[in-house]
Structure 1
Amino acid sequence: MTSPHHASGVHSVIGVDAGTATLREADHLIHRLLDQLALTDDVFACTHLFRTDERRGTAVSLTVPQVDVDDVWRELPKALPEGTGLALADRTHGPDDAVATARQAAAAPPAAGRAVAYPGVAHLTGTVTVADLLDRTAVERLVVLGAPDAELPPTAEVMTQDHVRPEWRDGVLTLVLVPAAGGLLAPFEVPNPTPCCADHF
Structure 2
Amino acid sequence: MIIGLDAGSRTVTEAEHLLHDMVKVLGLPAGTVGCTHFVRPESGAPHVACSLVLQAPPSGLPENVGAALGDSRTGPDDLAEGAALAAAEHAAGAGGRLVLFPGHAELNGTLTVAEVLAGSSIEQVVVLAQAEDPSPDTLVVTNDHVRPQWRDGRVVLLTMPAAGGRLMPAEVPNPTPCCVDHG
| TM-score scaled by length of structure 1 | 0.80
Q: CA RMSD in A?
A: 1.9
Which amino acid in 2 is paired with 1:141?
Q
The aligned counterpart of 2:117 is 134
Q: In the alignment, is the contact (CA less than 8 A) between 2:41 and 2:78 conserved in 1?
A: no
Say which SS state the counterpart of residue 36 (structure 2) adopts: strand
1:174 to 156, 174, 179: 156
1:32 Cα offset (Å): 2.3
1:101 to 82, 94, 99: 82
Say which SS state the counterpart of residue 74 (structure 1) adopts: coil
Q: Closer, same or farther in 2 for the Cα pair 1:64/1:190, shift >3 Å?
A: same
Q: Which runs of no fewer than 5 residues in structure 1 stay unpaired?
A: 1-11, 197-201
Name the % identity: 45
Bigger relative contact order, structure 1 or 2 (CA pairs below 8 A, ≥6 apart):
1
The aligned counterpart of 2:67 is 86
1:91 Cα offset (Å): 2.0
1:39 Cα offset (Å): 1.5
Point out the structure with the larger helix share. 1
Say which SS state the counterpart of residue 122 (structure 2) adopts: coil
Q: In the alignment, is the contact (CA less than 8 A) between 2:122 and 2:157 conserved in 1?
A: yes
Distance 2:177 2:84 in 1: 21
Q: Judge which range, 136-145 or 40-49, deviates more.
A: 40-49
Which amino acid in 1 is paired with 2:84?
R
Q: What does the per-residue CA deviation read over 1:146-183, in whole Å, with 9 as the maximum and x for residues that have no partner?
A: 1132x322221111111100000010101111111122
State the number of aligned residues: 175
Which amino acid in 1 is paired with 2:82?
T
Q: Closer, same or farther in 2 for the Cα pair 1:103/1:166, shift >3 Å?
A: same
1:193 Cα offset (Å): 4.9
Taking the TM superposition and a 5 Å limit, the aligned residue runs for 1:1-20 are 12-20=1-9
2:180 is aligned with 1:186? no
| TM-score scaled by length of structure 2 | 0.88
